[in-house]
Amino acid sequence: MNKSTTQNKVGFRPRGVIPAVITPLTPEGKFNAKAMRKLINYLIDGGVHGLFVVGTTGEFYGLSYEEKREIFQVVMDETRQRVPVYAGTNGITTRESVELTQLAEQCGVDAVSVLTPMFISPSQEQLITHYTTIAQNTSLPVLLYNNPPKTGVNLAAATVAKLAAVLNIVSIKDSSGDLTLTTEYIRLTRDRDDFNVLVGRDTLIYGALCYGAAGSIAACANVAPRLCADIYDKFIAGDREGSLNAQFTLAPLRIAFTIGTFPAVIKESLSLLGIEAGPCMEPVGPMTPEERVKLRQVLIGMGLLK
């Protein structure tokens, strides 16, 4: 199926702080819909500007097609259009990403985010073809997703500038951690009103906003939604000092990701806050008692725990 991209939601502009939402699991490793509904309300009540599900933080790599369908449906039902919902439709092949994107569209999501292929090493021209084909097969807005530390594949700035010309490719999430690359994305697309840049490294939200980014898709927003949202809200309101203070307060949590195997720190943090998250997908196991002590001290230092 090759849909016309003229069906794009005109004017859809990703913005603000959008949590890269975890996938709550039962002790048996199954999707926990009840816990997801509670988490959605915790995040929205915390002031976030959207929800991004089934991404890297959401352990997309361990979910079946039908599990992804269920997650999309539960999230759409509980969100009730209070904020936009972004769905991760990541695949190694173009065919897989197209199928997942069409599944997400059937479930009524507002936009999709597509990670570069992993394991294989496509050229920049092949990446352009990959993303253009995905965009041509959906009427949804499409966000590019660059995360070379995880995939080993990097979207060059010139490649993103070319893809920004595709009608329903509306944004990029850059999790490279390379602020120079992020700012190059911004510089090369700043003359386009229909494309913007989101940062995916939680320690760089304030810096990226200063350069003209539209916000962030942030894993830490699962744990501290109000604090993350404050970085954006205060910046937009002109309170640069308040925004920077919020960024500095958040930094220790992102830096603490190295205490455990990703995304264990996020799920363990939620558990310490009394929010059900469940285990990570094996082989990622729970944090050790010593690691939990370190994490608890981080949360206490941030004022999230007493």
What band does 218 get if pLDDT is binned at 50, 70 and 90? Answer: very high
206 is catalytic: no
Statement: residue 160 has pLDDT above 80: yes
Q: Which of 15, 35, 32, 19 is nearest to 222 (CA)?
A: 19
pLDDT given for residue 151 in this prediction: 96
Q: Which one of the listed residues 68, 131, 173, 206 is annotated catalytic?
A: 173
288 is in an annotated binding site: no
- The 10s digit of each residue's pLDDT in 66-111 is 999 999 999 999 999 999 999 999 999 999 999 999 999 999 999 9
Statement: residue 9 has pLDDT above 50: no
Statement: residue 1 has pLDDT above 70: no
What band does 11 get if pLDDT is binned at 50, 70 and 90? Answer: confident
Average pLDDT over residues 15-22: 98
Answer whether 0.85 is exceeded by the pTM.
yes
173 is catalytic: yes
pLDDT given for residue 7 in this prediction: 42
Q: Which superfamily does 14-248 belong to? A: Aldolase class I (3.20.20.70)
57 is in an annotated binding site: yes
- The 10s digit of each residue's pLDDT in 36-72 is 999 999 999 999 999 999 999 999 999 999 999 999 9
Average pLDDT over residues 201-210: 98
As a whole number of angstroms, the distance between CA 110 and CA 168 comes to 12
Contact status, residue 114 vs residue 134, Cβ threshold 8 Å: yes
